[in-house]
A and B are shown apart, each in its own frame.
Chain A
Amino acid sequence: MPALDRDDVAHLARLSRLQLSDAELDHFGEQLDVILSAVARVAEVAADDVPPTTHAVPVVNVTRPDVIVACLPREDVLAGAPAAEDDRFRVPRILDEEEQ
């Protein structure tokens, strides 16, 4: 597993809108490397006869019927919002995101 270089970490940080200093990029890069090499070790022991899986238990087709259940009261919904206005969540301008 090739190690992440600083550009990779900077790219990931940008996608998550995290502003990181060069020192932080190096620091988190090292941490991510530890995680990736741990996963790589698992990949080493998984032979060809072991199918990839995303669940610990082999379950499929877990569904629910199309039946309405109670929603949250709006005051509870907005109580958790950092800011609200006109019964809506208020967020900072997203102009810069669109124009980059």
Chain B
Amino acid sequence: MTATTSEPLLTFEDAIATFDPVMGFEVHVELNTLTKMFCGCPTEFGAPPNTQVCPVCLGLPGALPVVNEKAVESAIRIGLALGCSIAEWSRFARKNYFYPDMPKDFQTSQYDEPIAVNGALAIVVPTEDGPRPVTVGIERAHMEEDTGKILHVGGATGRIHGADYSLIDYNRAGVPLIEIVTKPIEVEPALAPAVARAYVTELRELIVALGVSDAHMHQGSMRVDANVSLKPRGRVELGTRTETKNVNSIRSVERAVRFEIQRQAAVLQAGETIIQETRHFHESDGSTTSGRIKEEAEDYRYFPEPDLTPIVPESAWIERLRATLPEPPLKRRARIREEWGISEHEMQSLINAGALELVQQTVALGADSADARKWWTGEIARISNERGLDVAALPITPQDVHRIIMLTIEGSLNDKLARQVIEGVLAGEGNPDEVVVSRDLAVVSDDGALLEAIDTALAQQPDVAEKIRGGKVQAAGAIVGAVMQSTGGMADAARVRELILERVGDSLG
């Protein structure tokens, strides 16, 4: 079975000409606590299967869970940063369902008494007419636990459909999660996909600034479920919604919302009805396909978790945590714009490229902000677009980019060679210094060799040499070009220019 949907689509323009989209997002953030939500097992990503499990997270009879205090602190800090009220009394609940990703046969979550309610996140949405401020209402943020990882075996594609059986690793079962749920988002229809992207971008930045999660979407430590429904223009009541899961990059959030708007519009236009269901997003073509029909809320038979005590945070504790909140991302960006001397537009393109943090980290290592921006939003962003990946998902670090910048400043790399070094780092050939050595990329820094090439070029183009002697310094460009060509691009153009002028000057003197 292929991922491609054969369902008809309306064009986005036609869809929003008739329908108003309403969106809602459920974002799961895996906390970076050392241990799980209810037991002391480590949470390290990528450990060998079933090595980070114990009687509690395996749901063995008689095992008793105890809440991780650090996870509660992180939940409260997220709630406060989102402007939520922190509940004076909060409880855990069992969400009962029959699926082997939780060995207990239920997930410990929060239901009617979440830790944080009723907040808002201010975002800035890039539009053709410039940045537009939008406020996204936050319904709630609650604590829960992650599930195990299921591997489907057999069948053609390793997907659930056609699988013969499944294998389960429970290392992730019980890792603390915070689920952040928005209120329904209704914006100017044409902006909906961009708002989706801006919300997830902003939320992710906030989570990273709080230091509560690494929020790597490609590793699943931040996961987005996008709810989309349509209603005919002018109607008040909401249409039936679908919930698209498996949206694992910021770019995909925008694509998934756009696709669902186009698909649902075609269904409604044809006089049919939307089925309330879970849909799966496919990175390959940006489509969604039907998953399971959504169970009604009461089918989960939530009830208060008898093995855990209520969480009743003292106000002094909440205030202590409030004092640890970072500068809000919007404010922080205004400050950074000031420091780097860049426009809101340049800031937006940094954010859109998903490169703000990476540039900041590169600057923190000592690089100039203009140099850092140039590489992250230039060559590296270009490659990430080509590969359909977020910049952060590429195997190149701020340390690598800082080193490449330093090598260009020292003059051992020029821009062309630096691009090849980036290519080498991305191809897994090692760090920048290793790539320089293995690909033999250092510029010709031996002045003797350069002078030889310059003399040859001057001899071949006597008219140009004459012009330079006559004071037309810009004519040196032709000689620089010739030298770059004869050295196979392995020369520092600025140094070549200096040497040409010295050479011509010498001959004058």
Query: A interface vs B, CB < 8 Å?
Result: 15-17, 54-55, 59-72, 74, 77-78, 80, 85-95, 97-100
Main secondary structure of the interface of B (DSSP, over half): loop
Within 8 A of A (CB), among B288-311: 291-293, 299, 301, 304-306, 308-311
Contact A60 B67 (CB under 8 A): no
B403 to chain A, nearest CB (A): 34
Q: Is the pair B35, A66 in contact by a Cβ cutoff of 8 Å?
A: yes
B99 within 8 Å of A by Cβ?
Answer: yes
Question: Quick one: which of A64, A78, A98 contacts B292, CB cutoff 8 A?
Answer: A98
Stretch at the interface among B21-29, B40-48, B266-274, B349-357: B40-48
Please list 30 pairs of residues, one from A and one from B, whose beta carbons are closer than 8 Å in the complex, sorted by A's number. Answer: A15-B299, A59-B309, A61-B313, A63-B67, A64-B66, A65-B69, A65-B70, A66-B68, A68-B40, A68-B41, A69-B39, A69-B54, A71-B52, A71-B54, A74-B51, A77-B50, A80-B60, A85-B167, A86-B49, A86-B167, A88-B168, A89-B50, A89-B168, A89-B170, A91-B168, A93-B163, A93-B165, A97-B98, A98-B292, A100-B293
A91 / chain B contacts, CB cutoff of 8 Å = 100, 165-168
Contacts from B to A (Cβ < 8 Å) = 33-35, 39-42, 48-55, 58, 60, 66-72, 91, 96, 98-100, 103, 150-151, 154, 160-170, 291-293, 299, 301, 304-306, 308-313
Q: Would B160 and A94 count as touching, CB distance under 8 A?
A: yes
> How many angstroms between the C-alpha atoms of A55 and B310 in the bound complex?
9
> When the two chains form their complex, are residues B166 and A93 in contact, meaning their CB atoms are under 8 A apart?
yes
Report how far A16 CA is from B98 CA in the complex, Å: 7
Select A87's contact among B50, B98, B161, beta carbons within 8 Å.
Answer: B50
Report the bound CA distance from A87 to B149 in whole Å.
Answer: 13
**When chains A and B are docked, how far (Å) is the Cα of A16 from the Cα of B68?**
30
Across the interface, do A64 and B310 meet the contact criterion of CB distance under 8 Å? no
Q: Give the chain A neighbours of B308 by CB distance below 8 A.
A: 62
Contact, CB under 8 Å: A72 / B35 = no
Q: Which residues of A contact B66 (CB under 8 A)?
A: 62-64
A36 to chain B, nearest CB (A): 14
The 8 closest A-B pairs by CB, nearest first: A69-B40, A66-B70, A88-B167, A63-B69, A89-B168, A60-B312, A54-B304, A62-B309
Q: Which B residues are CB-close (under 8 A) to A63? A: 66-69, 72
In the complex, which residues of chain A have a beta carbon less than 8 angstroms from the beta carbon of B70?
65-66
A-B contacts, CB under 8 A, total: 135
Shortest A42–chain B CB gap in Å is: 16
A74, A77, A89, most chain B CB atoms within 10 A: A89
Verify B49–A100 contact, CB threshold 8 A: no
Known contacts A60-B311, A71-B41; 11 additional CB pairs below 8 A are A54-B305, A55-B306, A60-B309, A63-B66, A64-B69, A72-B54, A74-B51, A88-B169, A89-B103, A97-B99, A98-B291
Q: Are B166 and A94 in contact (CB under 8 A)?
A: yes
Cα A72 to Cα B63 with chains together (Å): 13
In the assembled complex, which residues on chain B have CB atoms less than 8 Å from the CB atom of A17?
Answer: 98
Query: Please, which residue of chain A has its CB at the minimum distance from the CB of B97?
Result: A15
Contact pick for A88, options B35, B42, B49, CB 8 Å = B49
Do A66 and B160 have beta carbons less than 8 Å apart?
Answer: no
Residue of B nearest to A97 (CB): B99
Q: Kindly list chain B residues whose C-beta atoms are within 8 Å of the C-beta of A55.
A: 306, 309
B48: chain A residues within 8 A (beta carbon): 74, 87
The chain A residue with its CB closest to the CB of B167 is A88
Q: Report A-chain residues with C-beta under 8 Å of the C-beta of B103.
A: 89
Q: Which residues of B contact A69 (CB under 8 A)?
A: 35, 39-41, 54
Are A78 and B50 closer than 8 Å at their CB atoms? yes
Contact B40 A67 (CB under 8 A): yes
- Which chain B residue has the least Cβ–Cβ distance from A89? B168
| Interchain nearest-CB distance for B148 vs A (Å) | 8
Cross-interface CB contact of A64 among B67, B99, B168, B312, cutoff 8 Å: B67
- Inter-chain CA distance A65–B66, complex, in Å, is 10
Among A60, A65, A99, point to the contact of B310 (Cβ < 8 A): A60
Which residues from A are CB-within-8-Å of B166?
90-94
Specify which of B42, B53, B167 is in contact with A90 (CB 8 Å cutoff).
Answer: B167
Q: Which residue of B lies closest to A11 (CB)?
A: B299
* Cα separation A59 to B53 with both chains bound (whole Å): 28
| A99–B277 CA distance with the chains assembled, in angstroms | 11
B164, B166, B169, B306 pick with most chain A CB within 10 angstroms: B166
